[in-house]
Structure 1
Amino acid sequence: MSTVTFGITPGYGEKLNKALGYSGAVRVDDRVEISGQAGVDDDLVVPESLEDEIVLAFDNVERTLATVGATWRDVIHVNSYHKVTPEEGVIGADHNAVMAEQFRRRLDGREPIWTETGVTALGLAGMRVEIRVTAVVGSGD
């Protein structure tokens, strides 16, 4: 029988759990899945700077992983969703540069698979990025 544990990120995650009724993470044995994490502060405010938003989304992934005993070093798959306009049609180099820099900074040489998707809307007004990951606890040791 599998052991299932749900995690709720302190701060913004508690607010979303109360308002919408979902958890930020689930751990089934050593496998972890998290819901998409926005680059928001605990008051659900999106920074003006795209770079600050992406860095905060990475911070929030880390916070959410921690609720079920995982870290960035355990991550095996990243899905990122990037708001694009019909005029742009593609995810900008500005998004990719910050994402790649954060991968290098947080993954310490680990290279998980990555699926990057352009979308026209995200969960909160002003959001430009959302990140969700899959992790296997202990796989980065």
Structure 2
Amino acid sequence: MSTVTFGIVPGYGEKLHAALGYSGAVRVDDRVEISGQAGVDDDLNIPDSLEEEIIRAFDNVERTLATVGASWKDVIHVNSYHKVEPGADVISEETNRIMAEQFRRRLGGRAPIWTETGVTVLGLAAMRVEIRVTAIAGSGS
């Protein structure tokens, strides 16, 4: 029988759990799935800077993984969702540069698979990025 553990990040995760009734992470044995993480602070504020928002989203992925005993080094799959301007046909070079910098900084040489999707809306009106990952806890140590 599988062991299932749900994780809720203190701060913003608790607020979203109370308001919308979902957990930020689930661990089934060693497999971890997390919900999409925004670049918000604990009060659900989004920074003006795209770079700061993406970095904060990466930080929030890390916080969420930690609630169920995993880390960025355990990540095997990344889905990122990026708000694109109407009429834009690509995700910006700036976005890709920042994402790649954060992958290099946090993954310790691991290169998970990555699907990057442009969208017109995300969960909060000001959001420009949301990151969701799958990990195998302990595989990156």
TM-score normalized by the length of structure 1 = 0.99
Q: In the alignment, residue 18 of structure 1 is paired with which amino acid?
A: A
Q: Deviations over 1:89-140 (max 9, x none)?
A: 2110011000000000000100000000000000001100000000001111
1:66 offset after TM fit, Å?
Answer: 0.3
Q: Which runs of 5+ in 1 are unaligned?
A: none
What residue identity is the alignment partner of 2:90? V
Q: Which residue of 2 aligns with 1:74?
A: 74
For these two proteins, the number of residue pairs brought into alignment is 141
Residue 99 of structure 2 aligns with which residue? Answer: 99
Q: Structure 1 stretch 122-131 or stretch 86-95: which is displaced more?
A: 86-95
The one-letter code matched in structure 2 to 1:115 is T
What amino acid is aligned across from residue 130 of structure 2 in structure 1? Answer: E
- 1:35 alignment counterpart: 35
Looking at structure 2, the residues matched to 96 and 10 of structure 1 have their Cα atoms a distance apart, in angstroms, of 29
Letter in 2 for 1:58: F
The within-5 A match list for 1:1-141 is 1-141=1-141
CA offsets, 1:23-45, max 9 Å, x none?
A: 00000000000000000000000
In the alignment, the residues of structure 2 paired with residue 89 and residue 116 of structure 1 have an alpha-carbon distance, to the nearest angstrom, of 13
| Paired residue secondary structure (1:78) | strand
Bigger CA drift: 85-94 or 57-66?
Answer: 85-94
Distance 2:17 2:77 in 1: 24
- Cα RMSD (Å) of the superposition? 0.5
TM-score normalised to structure 2 length? 0.99
Looking at structure 1, the residues matched to 12 and 34 of structure 2 have their Cα atoms a distance apart, in angstroms, of 14
Whole-Å Cα distance in 2 between the matches of residues 22 and 2 of structure 1? 21
Q: Could you list the per-position Cα deviations for residues 41-65 of structure 1 after superposition, in whole angstroms to 9, with x for gaps in the alignment?
A: 0000000000000000000000000
Give SS of 1:60's match. Answer: helix
Unaligned runs of 5+ in 2: none
> 1:111 aligns to what SS in structure 2?
coil
- Name the CA distance, whole Å, in 2 between partners of 1:138 and 1:7: 17
Give every structure 1 segment of 4 or more consecutive aligned residues whose post-TM-superposition deviation is greater than 6 Å.
Answer: none
Q: Percent identity?
A: 80
SS across alignment from 1:117: strand
